[in-house]
Homo-oligomer: A and B are copies of this chain.
Amino acid sequence: MGATKTDHFTDKQNAIATLAKALGHPARVAIVDYLLKVDACICGDIVNELPLAQPTVSQHLKELKNAGIIKGEIEGNTICYCLDKNSIDKLQSYFANISIKLEKKKKDCC
């Protein structure tokens, strides 16, 4: 017990959950916001932007990368991290679809 029962759900459900989970921490949302704000890929100063120690930031970046929210390559002693539009679009369309279905429904009982 304690481990998520991933194999009992559909691939799509797991995929959405993985992406959502990656953004389920304010530091990682902040990283995404920062990547958008600077409008660039090379963000060597991201550690200075967050109220967290360098290893912690590195760990959060790793999780975002593992989940597919960002992609990045090592370039010497700097890093090139970019948002992966494909993943963002997956989330966007998932929620847009829900929203549309809720709009049609209107049986607003709660």
List residues of A whose CB falls within 8 A of some B CB: 4-6, 8-10, 13-14, 16-18, 20-30, 32-33, 36, 39-42, 50-52, 71-73, 80-83, 85, 88-89, 91-92, 95-96, 98-99, 101-103, 105, 107-110
Residues in B neighbouring A5, C-beta threshold 8 A: 26-27, 51-52
* A9 engages B21 (CB within 8 Å): no
* A88 engages B71 (CB within 8 Å): no
* Interchain CA distance A110-B73 in the complex, whole Å: 7
A-B contact pairs, 30 of them (CB 8 A): A5-B26, A6-B26, A9-B27, A9-B29, A13-B26, A13-B29, A13-B30, A16-B29, A17-B24, A17-B28, A18-B24, A20-B22, A20-B23, A21-B21, A21-B24, A21-B25, A32-B98, A36-B101, A36-B102, A39-B101, A39-B105, A39-B107, A41-B107, A42-B109, A72-B110, A73-B110, A80-B110, A83-B102, A88-B102, A95-B95
